[in-house]
Amino acid sequence: MTTAMLNRSRVFESKGHRAHLVTFDYNPDYSTEIAALVDQGRMSPGVKLVNIHEYYSSMNTLDRPIFQSPERPAEDIQLGHTKDGYRLREQFHSTGYKIRELTIDRVSGKPLAERYFTPDGFCYLTTHLSLETGIPFALHLHFRDGSPTQSFRNNRQWRIDWLNRLARQETTMPVFICDGPGSAPTVMGMEEGLARRFYQIHINHFLAPFEFGSPMKDDHRLIFSRMSDLDQVVVLTDQQRDDIIADFGHGEKISVIPNFCDVGTVPSVEKKPHEVSMLVRFHPQKRVDDAIRAFALVKSRVPTAVLRVYGRGAEKKNYASLISELGLGAHVFLEDYSTDSRRVLAASACSLMTSTYEAFSLSIAESLSAGTPVVAFDCPYGPASLVDNGRNGFLIKDRDLSAFADAVVTLLNDPAGAASLGREGRRMMVENYNDDAIYQQWSALMDSMS
């Protein structure tokens, strides 16, 4: 569940909609994860998670006490054997009941079948798995009330049937907003007329070099070639919309609505005039190494400059090596993921964005919302829609490290000017990206579909 999804559901729920997050994966510990998101303020308590496994488990559970075994750890695994000699693996919930049973092939050690259980012991789902791929080729849905077993050839068929069932339960036509290319074909496969089906793109749909004319990702090519199976495709920027139309047409099917940004308030913190921040995943896409190299140029002109990079990821060791190699140990610091990013950004002189590609860049939106200007590479897509060059930050030609460093030095040497750019960024976010402004765009789109 991404920040964009959580913010959108929060606003929809606050406007009086029944906002649900619909998921397909098997996760017996969802309740704990949801509670944590609510405690962190990232998820509205009024938003409901609807999971396919929990749905059918609950439907087939009788109202009777559940066996409790506090000493049994979550996901405890027991091994046994079936009558025909296959190995049997059982998994248990932390409260003691069996949640899943796997039949294991004797030779390969791979699962042949899975059985899923309700808290009171009823098997509501049986799946048969391919030894080669591990993918289900047959699923059988069982019902405690005696209804006939339903059989499906694959996960997608089962999931489509479930979405159709959810839609039929509504008294008014629901809207399904799909946020990932993996689940898009499932939403597209729903029975026509049961629901409004939207697909929102949160990523750049091209492969390297991630610009118009580049090879397209196969999953997105499939979506764009079947737009007749969707009511609307929603993108985050005008530039991405123009590129899709240039390749596929159907301009009437493509709308531009930015992410909800949670503009919020600016924390009361003191600015650190020579401290720069970056909140990012430690992933090659984010090109933190470019930021580190640019900061070597910054440090040579502003000896007191400090860059703090907050995040986690596999590239951390590579970044640490580069910092050491460039002699930046006293100037660039790799910090852990921050749970109070707004305060970190509000205290910074500026923030940095060096990504290879984006779709909108919530990190830029968050920095501007905190009253902190941004220095960003002009990558596709997103930075150009948020950074007004010279007014709320600086938009730099992609990978021009010298110009990037110049912009950072300008802000560090002119705290008053940096503060002015930050105020303009905050004003722009409050006026154009507040919850009501983005909600009105969604509301207008849904009304037009009616």
Return per-residue pLDDT of the chain as tens, 450 residues.
Answer: 788 899 999 999 999 999 999 999 999 888 888 988 888 888 899 999 999 999 999 999 986 544 444 444 444 455 555 545 678 899 998 888 899 999 999 888 899 999 999 999 999 999 999 999 999 999 999 999 999 999 999 999 999 999 999 999 999 999 999 999 999 999 999 999 999 999 999 999 999 999 999 999 999 999 999 998 999 999 999 999 999 999 999 999 999 999 998 898 999 999 999 999 999 999 999 999 999 999 999 999 999 999 999 999 999 999 999 999 999 999 999 999 998 999 999 999 999 999 999 988 889 999 999 999 999 999 999 899 999 999 999 999 999 999 999 999 999 999 999 999 999 999 999 999 999 999 999 999 999 987
Which of 256, 287, 302 represents a domain boundary (last residue)? 256
Which of 230, 256, 282 represents a domain boundary (last residue)? 256
| Total tally of structural domains belonging to the chain | 2
How do residues 245-295 score in pLDDT, each as one tens digit?
999 999 999 999 999 988 989 999 999 999 999 999 999 999 999 999 999
Residue 69: predicted pLDDT? 46
CB atoms within 10 A of CB 296: 18
What DSSP element (H or E) covers 125? strand 123-129
Closest CA relative to residue 152, chosen from 58, 163, 84: 163
Same domain? 280 vs 365: yes
Same domain? 373 vs 305: yes
In a domain, 109, yes or no: no
Structural domain containing residue 41 = 3-60+157-256
Q: Which amino acid is at 203?
A: I
In a domain, 228, yes or no: yes
Here the tokens at position 233 are 């495709």
* CATH at 414: 3.40.50.2000
Q: How many CA atoms lie within 13 A of 238 on its CB side?
A: 3
The rounded mean pLDDT for the chain is 92
In a domain, 65, yes or no: no
Same domain? 219 vs 362: no
Same domain? 281 vs 404: yes
